[in-house]
A and B are shown apart, each in its own frame.
Chain A
Amino acid sequence: MKRGAVFLLCLAWLFVTLFPIYWALVTSFKPPPAVNGGPTYLPWIDFQPTLQAWIDAFSGIRGDFVRPFVNSTLIGLSATVLAVAFGSMAAYALVRYTFRVRLLAGVLFALLGIGGFLLFRDLGLSRADSLGAAFVLALAASILANRLPLPGPVLGNNDVVFWFLSQRMFPPIVTAFALYLLYSEIGREGVKALDTFWGMTFCYTAFSLPIVVWLMRDFFQALPVEIEEAALVDDVPRIRIFLEIVVPMARPGIVATAMITLGFVWNEFLFALLLTTSDWQTLPIFLSGQNSYRGDEWWAISAAAMIAIAPMMVMAVLLARLMRSGLVLGGIR
Chain B
Amino acid sequence: MARVSLKGVVKRYGAATVIPRLDLDIEDREFVVLVGPSGCGKTTTLRMIAGLEPVSEGTIRIGDRDVTDLRPGLRNCSMVFQSYALYPHMTVRDNIGYGMRVRGESRARIESKIAEAARILGLEPYLDRRPKHLSGGQRQRVAIGRAIVRNPDVFLFDEPLSNLDAKLRIEMRTEIKNLHRRLESTVVYVTHDQVEAMTLADRVVVMNSGVIEQIADPITLYEKPANMFVAAFIGAPSMNFLAVRLTGDAVELADGTRLPVPQERAAALAGFNGRSVMLGLRPEHMAGGEKGPAVVTLVPRTIEPLGPHTLVIGELAGTRITAQVDARFPCRPDEPTRITFDMNQMHVFDRETGKTL
Using a CB–CB cutoff of 8 Å, the interface residues on chain A facing chain B are 224, 226-227, 229-237, 240, 244-245, 248-249, 332-333
Chain B residues 103 to 158 lying within 8 A of chain A, measured CB to CB, are 103, 132, 143, 146, 150
Chain B residues 58 to 96 lying within 8 A of chain A, measured CB to CB, are 71-75, 77-79, 81, 83, 85-89
- Known contacts A234-B150, A333-B132: A224-B52 contact under CB 8 Å: no
Docked complex Cα distance between A227 and B99 (Å): 13
**Which residues does chain B contribute within 8 Å of A224, judged by CB atoms?**
83, 85
**Which residues does chain B contribute within 8 Å of A245, judged by CB atoms?**
87, 89
Contact status A234-B98, CB under 8 Å? yes
Docked complex Cα distance between A236 and B101 (Å): 10
Docked complex Cα distance between A233 and B50 (Å): 7
Contact status A235-B73, CB under 8 Å? yes
* B16 within 8 Å of A (CB atoms): no
- Known contacts A233-B72, A333-B132: A226-B103 contact under CB 8 Å: no
Contact status A240-B87, CB under 8 Å? no
Q: How large is the interface on B (under 10, 10 to 19, 20 to 34, 35 or more residues)?
A: 20 to 34
**What is the interface of chain A mostly: helix, strand, loop, or mixed?**
helix
Contact status B77-A233, CB under 8 Å? yes
Contact status B85-A236, CB under 8 Å? no
Contact status B102-A232, CB under 8 Å? no
Given A236-B102, A249-B88, 17 more contacts at CB 8 Å?
A226-B85, A227-B86, A227-B88, A229-B72, A229-B81, A230-B81, A230-B146, A231-B98, A234-B73, A234-B78, A235-B74, A235-B99, A236-B98, A236-B99, A248-B89, A332-B88, A333-B88
CB proximity of B148 to chain A, nearest CB, Å: 12
Contact status A236-B146, CB under 8 Å? no
Q: Which residue of B lies closest to A232 (CB)?
A: B72
Docked complex Cα distance between A209 and B170 (Å): 51
Contact status B85-A227, CB under 8 Å? yes
Using a CB–CB cutoff of 8 Å, the interface residues on chain B facing chain A are 50-52, 71-75, 77-79, 81, 83, 85-89, 98-99, 102-103, 132, 143, 146, 150
**Which residues does chain B contribute within 8 Å of A231, judged by CB atoms?**
87, 98-99
- Name, among A229, A232, A233, A249, the residue most crowded by chain B CB atoms within 10 Å (CB to CB): A233
Q: How many A-B residue pairs have CB under 8 A?
A: 66
Contact status A226-B150, CB under 8 Å? no
**Which residues does chain A contribute within 8 Å of B98, judged by CB atoms?**
231, 234, 236, 244
Docked complex Cα distance between A227 and B79 (Å): 11
Docked complex Cα distance between A157 and B83 (Å): 27
CB proximity of A231 to chain B, nearest CB, Å: 8
Docked complex Cα distance between A235 and B74 (Å): 7
Docked complex Cα distance between A234 and B90 (Å): 16
CB proximity of A234 to chain B, nearest CB, Å: 4
Q: Which residue of B lies closest to A225 (CB)?
A: B85
**Which residues does chain B contribute within 8 Å of A232, judged by CB atoms?**
52, 71-73
18 A-B pairs (CB sep. < 8 Å): A224-B83, A224-B85, A226-B83, A226-B85, A230-B79, A230-B81, A230-B86, A231-B98, A232-B52, A233-B52, A234-B73, A234-B150, A235-B103, A236-B98, A236-B99, A237-B102, A245-B89, A249-B89
- Known contacts A226-B83, A227-B86, A229-B79: A234-B52 contact under CB 8 Å: no
- Name, among B50, B78, B81, the residue most crowded by chain A CB atoms within 10 Å (CB to CB): B81
- Known contacts A230-B146, A333-B132: A235-B87 contact under CB 8 Å: no
Docked complex Cα distance between A235 and B83 (Å): 20
**Which residues does chain A contribute within 8 Å of B78, judged by CB atoms?**
233-234
Q: Which of A230, A240, A244 is in CB contact (< 8 Å) with B85? A: A230
Q: Which of A227, A235, A333 is in CB contact (< 8 Å) with B102? A: A235
CB proximity of B146 to chain A, nearest CB, Å: 7
**Which residues does chain A contribute within 8 Å of B89, judged by CB atoms?**
245, 248-249
CB proximity of B79 to chain A, nearest CB, Å: 5
Docked complex Cα distance between A245 and B102 (Å): 12
Docked complex Cα distance between A332 and B98 (Å): 19
